[in-house]
Amino acid sequence: MKSHTKELSLALSVLLVVSALPLSARAQTQTQDEIQAQIYAELEVFLQSSSEDALRAEAWRRVEASKQSDLSDVPTSASAVDAAVSEFESNLADETPGQRCVRAYTTACRQGYNADIAGAAAQATTVLAGCLALTTGANLIACAALALAVQQYLSLQARRRYQACLVIIPEVCDMPSCAVEGLP
């Protein structure tokens, strides 16, 4: 019974971390076209006061900054999960199957997220490379906006998958005592 109480504590810690992940309600409902239109408008304003070369550099900077930001958001949250797991482990002499399961799934969720973010950045980089070499003016803005929107949209999808992955840990790890009213 004491083991289930500790596992419940860990599961609740994981769920609290998941609910704290930064993902605004607006970002959850934005389509790729809406994201692209927003980025297009931003780049259009940027180009009015800068050169095409500066726009190219700005687009590259945004791809890298977005990737770094996305990767730094979740490991911070994952660190909180790791801290909860560590605290849970320190309270028990031997690791339980529930602990091993939670650790394995938390790690798998984080690795999947990191791979998704790297893939989003790679797709944006590929599109952007073609854009920047072949286009100018309004076409440059449209193509760069598409590349950046693809990355942002795929990053949002990755974050959703990561959150969904963490939320199912109690069920996957067969922790029936974690069925707390109001929690998934």
Structure confidence by residue, pLDDT tens digits, 74-111: 544 555 555 555 555 555 446 677 778 888 888 899 99
Give the total residue count for the chain: 184
The pLDDT value recorded for residue 10 is 40
Q: What is the mean pLDDT of the chain?
A: 74
The pLDDT of 110-120, averaged and rounded, is 92
Convert 86-96 to b/e letters by CB count within 10 Å (16 or more is b): eebbeeeeeeb
Place of tokens 């996305």: 70
Alpha helix segments (H runs only) across 21-136:
25-29, 32-48, 52-90, 97-134
The pLDDT of 121-150, averaged and rounded, is 88
The pLDDT of 56-77, averaged and rounded, is 80
Most confident of 69-73, 139-143, 167-171: 139-143
- pTM for the whole structure: 0.67
The pLDDT value recorded for residue 25 is 37
Lowest mean pLDDT across 21-25, 132-136, 147-151? 21-25
Percent of the chain with pLDDT over 90: 29
Task: 52-59: list long-range contacts, CB under 8 Å, 24+ apart.
Answer: 52/136, 52/137, 52/140, 55/140, 55/141, 55/144, 56/132, 56/140, 56/144, 59/128, 59/131, 59/132, 59/144, 59/147, 59/148
The pLDDT value recorded for residue 149 is 92
Q: Is the pLDDT of residue 156 over 80?
A: yes
The pLDDT of 123-142, averaged and rounded, is 86
Q: Is the pLDDT of residue 11 over 50?
A: no
Please check whether residue 128 is in contact with residue 144, taking contact to mean a CB–CB distance below 8 angstroms. yes
The pLDDT value recorded for residue 117 is 92
